[in-house]
Structure 1
Amino acid sequence: MSDTPQEEEDLAAAWGAALDAEGTPEDEAPVGPDAARVLNQAEIDSLLGFSAGPAESGEKTGIERIVSAGLVSYERLPMLEIVFDRLVRIMSTSLRNFTSDNVEVSIDSIVSLRFGDYLNSVPLPAMLAVFKVDEWDNYGLLVVDSALIYSVVDVLLGGRRGTAAMRIEGRPYTTIERTLVERLITVVLQDLSDAFSPLSPASFRFERLEVNPRFAAISRLSNACILSRLRVDMEDRGGKIELLLPYATLEPVRELLLQQFMGEKFGRDSIWETHLAEELRHTELAMDVVLDEQTMPLAAIMSLKPGDRIALNAVPGAPVMLRCGDIPLFEAELGRRESRLAVKIGRELRRRQEA
C-alpha cells in the first residue's frame, strides 16, 4: 500500500517537529540523504590524538603517534660545529689553490636526520663519494651536486670566467669529469682530516665513487646521521657539498664532541688535580712493623695482667711485614742500626698482589 505525496509530506513534517522537540543527541549524525557529517572540535582533537585537558603522562594516540614516529631526538655535539667551522676556513684556502680561482666556502646548515630520509632526498644527478675513517673503523658520505661538478670541470679545463658552467642533463658523467671530481673529493677529505686533527687524529680515506644512492648505503636506513651542507661559490658559479656522518661513525669520539670548548675535562680541573696530587705526596703516613700475629682465646686475653709476657714466634733473620693500616706494603728484614731497631725493605707486596 503506497502513501500519497501529501501524506509523505505530513509524515516528514511530523518527524521534524518531533526531533526539534526532543533534541538531536550530540553523538548522532543528522538524518537525511544530503546531510553531511560535521565533527565538533572535541571529535577532531580525539581523532588527531590531542586533548584540551592536562597532558597525559607518556600516552600518544592517533595521528600524533604517526607524526612523532618520524622524529628522533638527537644530542647536540658542540665541538662538531667548531670542527666544521675549521673545515670551512681550511677549504677556502685549499680550493683556491686547487682551482686557481676565487673560492668562498660557507656552511648552509647542520642538521640531524635519518640515513634513509637523506638518500631519498639526494638531488640527482650527483656524485656520492664513500670514504672510510681508518681510526674509527667506519664510513661516511660526501655528495657533490651537479652544479658544482660542472663548475669545477669548467674551471679546471680552462673555462672563461664570468660565464656560467654549461650543463648537459640526461647523460652519464664522463671519465674526465669523474677523475676531476675525485681530485676535488680528495682535497676535501684531506681538509676534513686536518679539521679533526686538533681534536683527534682521523684519516678520511676515499673508497669509491657512486652515482646511484642505492649503491652508497653505508648504514641502516633508520640510523641517525649528521648532515652538513657546505656552499662553494666561485664568482658566478658554484654548488653544494653535503657531508654525511652517521652517529655510529662519530661514536669513538663522541665524548670529545660533547665538549663545549677544546680541552674541556667535563668538570675536572687539571690545576686542582695537580695541586691535590702534590699535597698527597707530602702527606705523613704511619707504618707498622708486624713482627708476629697470633690467635688467642678471649679468656686468655682477659686474664692478662701487667708484667705478663707474650712470646713471639719470630726468629732472628725472619722477614717481617710493613703495613699502613690494614694494607700490606713491604716485606722487610729486621735489624739494628746504632741504638735503634731498623728494617731493611726487601720487596714490595702491593704490586705483587695487584698483578
Structure 2
Amino acid sequence: MANDDLEARDNDKDKDKLPLTPEGMAAEWATMSDIAADDGGEQEANIDRLMNQEEIDTMLGFSIGDDGKGGRNGIQAIVDSGSVTYERLPMLEIIFERLVRLLSTSLRNLFSDNVEVTLEGIRSVRFGDYINSISLPAMLAVFKAEEWDNFGLVTIESALTYSVLDTMLGGKRGQAAARVDGRPFTSIEMSLLRRVIGVVLGDAEAAFRPLSPVNFRVDRIESNPRFVSISRPANAAIRVELRFDMEGRGGSLHLLLPYATIEPIRELLLESFMGEKLGRDPIWENHLATEVWQADVAVKCVLHECTMPLKRVMKLEIGDTLMFDARPDSVASLRCGDFIVSEGRIGRVDDKIAVQVVSPLRRSKTTMAAFDTSHLNPAS
C-alpha cells in the first residue's frame, strides 16, 4: 500500500511538469487576469480610503469650524477642552479698544517714533497655564489695583523687550533687535522697561476711568514667572494681548487680570454701553418721586400709652378714671400708621394745641433690596 501511494504522488508531479495545451494556457491566462483585476480593485479601494489634506487638517484641528466662530475640532478640540469659558464682558472690549488709541499716542511721544498698537485678542485662560506658557527671557510686572484691592500682571515678551531697548537706546531702524541670551537685565534696561510699563498702566487707568476710577500701582518687577503668583493656578483670568510694531521691530505685551480682580466692577462690565440701566425707566422714576413728594399723610400724636391686663379692661365702668404716668414735660410720639417717625413736646400756639418736634425723623430700616425681596417672595 505504501508503494502504491508513492507511485501516485510521482504520477501527479509528472503531470504538473507536462507541457500545457493551448486550451489550458488560455484558461490559465484568464485566471491570472481575474486575479490581477481583483488586486487592482483592492488597490483602488485603498487609494479611495486615503485622506486628502483638508481631511487631515480637520482631524488635527488646524482648520476653523463651520460655525464661523473660530471653534476648534478634532484633536485640537480635545487639547483645548481644559480651557476656560466665561461670560462675555462687552464693556471690557470697549475699554481695551480705548487703551489701544491712548497707547498709540503715548508710545509715539515716548519713543519719538511711529508705533502701531493693535489689539490681538481677549480670552479667558487659567493662571497656571498662562504662567507655564511664558517664554524666557521676559519681563513681568505685578501691579495692584488700589480701589479693587487685588493684583494684575503685565508681561513683556522677549521680542518686544529687546525691540524697546534697541529703540530707546538709539538702534537703527528697519533692523531686528539683537537678542542677547544668558544674562540678566541690567539696571538701565530695568529702568527703561519700568518706564514703558508705567506708560501702559497710566493709559489703562485713563481707559477705566469713565467706568470706574482706579489706580494701578507697580508692586514689583520680576524676570522669573515663578515669583509672580498673584492667583491660584486653577483660577480663571482674562488675558489681553497687545501687539506693538515699530518700523519692522516689535512684539507682544500681555495684560493679565484675574476674575477676582475685576469682580468689584463685574456688573458694569456686563453693560453693552456706558451708563446702561436694564429694566428701568428714568421718566417713570421721576414722575413717581414727584407724586410721592406731593402725597398727603396723616400723622397722629400719641400723648401716652400703657399696658394693662384684659381682666381689668373688662371691669371698666362709666365714670372710672385711668391714671397715666406722664408729666407735663414728657414727650409725645408722632406716628404715621404703625411707625413712629419722631417725638415732640405738647404746647400751645394761639388757641391751638401744637407739637414741637424735638428729635430728627427716624428713617426706615427697610432697604430697597429688602423691599423688592419681600414683594418677590411674599411667603417668606
> What's the TM-score once normalised by structure 2's chain length?
0.66
Please name the residue that 1:262 is paired with. Answer: 274
Pick from 152, 162, 181 the counterpart of residue 140 of structure 1.
152
- Alignment-derived partner of residue 173 in structure 1: 185
Structure 1 residues 321, 353: CA separation in 2 closer, same or farther (over 3 Å shift)?
farther
What TM-score, normalized by structure 1, do the two folds share? 0.71
Indicate if the aligned counterparts of 1:149 and 1:177 stay in contact, CA closer than 8 A.
Answer: no
CA deviations 1:93-123 (Å, max 9, x no partner) are: 0000000011111110100010011111112
Distance 2:255 2:157 in 1: 12
**1:185 and 2:223 aligned:** no
Aligned CA distance change for structure 1 residues 218 and 352 (closer, same or farther; 3 Å):
closer
Alignment counterpart, residue 283 of structure 1, candidates 295, 299, 318: 295
| 2-structure distance, mates of 1:139, 1:195 | 17
Which range is displaced more, 313-322 or 222-231? 313-322
How far is the alpha carbon of 1:271 from its aligned partner? Answer: 4.6
Q: Which amino acid aligns with 1:245?
A: L
Partners of 1:348 and 1:177 lie apart in 2 by 64
Structure 1 residues 284, 158: CA separation in 2 closer, same or farther (over 3 Å shift)? same
Q: CA deviation at 1:280?
A: 1.4
Counterpart CA distance in 1 for 2:236 and 2:278 is 25
CA–CA distance in structure 2, aligned partners of residues 352 and 106 of structure 1: 53
Given the superposition, is the C-alpha separation of residues 334 and 246 from structure 1 closer, same or farther in structure 2, using an over 3 Å criterion? same
Distance 2:94 2:108 in 1: 22
Superposed CA offset, 1:240-269 (max 9, x none): 101111111212222222222222344344
Residue 173 of structure 1: how far off its partner (Å): 3.4
Contact 1:322/1:329 (<8 A) preserved: yes
Q: CA deviation at 1:312?
A: 7.3
The aligned residue for residue 203 of structure 1 is 215
- Cα distance change of structure 1 residues 349 and 79 upon mapping to structure 2, 3 Å threshold: closer
Look up the match of 1:149: 161
> For 2:265, what is the secondary structure of its paired residue?
helix
- Select 1:333's aligned residue among 320, 345, 352: 345
Q: Report the Cα offset of residue 211 of structure 1.
A: 2.0
Q: Deviations over 1:127-176 (max 9, x none)?
A: 11222222222221111112111211121122222333233345443443
- Cα distance, 1:174–1:76 mapped onto 2, change above 3 Å: same
Q: What CA distance in whole angstroms lies between the structure 2 residues aligned with 1:352 and 1:178?
A: 58
> How far apart, in 1, do the equivalents of 2:200 and 2:365 lie?
53
Q: Which position in structure 1 is the counterpart of 2:70?
A: none
Note the aligned Cα RMSD (angstroms): 3.2
Aligned residue for 1:249, secondary structure, equals: coil
Q: Counterpart in 1 of 2:19? A: none
Distance 1:353 1:175, change over 3 A: closer
Does residue 102 (structure 1) correspond to residue 114 (structure 2)? The answer is yes
- For 1:47-196, what aligned pairs fall within 5 Å after superposition? 70-196=82-208
Distance 1:68 1:213, change over 3 A: closer
1:284 is matched by which residue type in structure 2? D
Which residue of structure 1 aligns with residue 243 of structure 2? 231
Change (3 A) 1:201 1:342: same
- Count of residues in Structure 1 that have an aligned counterpart in Structure 2: 288
**Kindly tell me: are residues 179 and 345 of structure 1, through their superposed partners in 2, closer, same or farther at Cα, counting changes over 3 Å?**
closer
**Alpha-carbon distance in structure 2 between the residues aligned to 1:217 and 1:197:** 27
Structure 2 match to 1:244: 256
Task: Describe the SS at the equivalent of 1:241.
Answer: strand
The aligned residue for residue 21 of structure 1 is none
The AA in structure 2 aligned to 1:100 is S
- Asked if structure 2 preserves the Cα contact closer than 8 Å seen for 1:292 and 1:312, the reply is no
Aligned mates of 2:257, 2:99 — CA distance in 1: 14
1:213 aligns with 2:220: no
The match for 1:50 is none
Q: Distance in 1 between matches of 2:220 and 2:236?
A: 22
**Contact 1:330–1:345 under 8 Å retained in 2:** yes
| Structure with the greater alpha carbon radius of gyration | 2
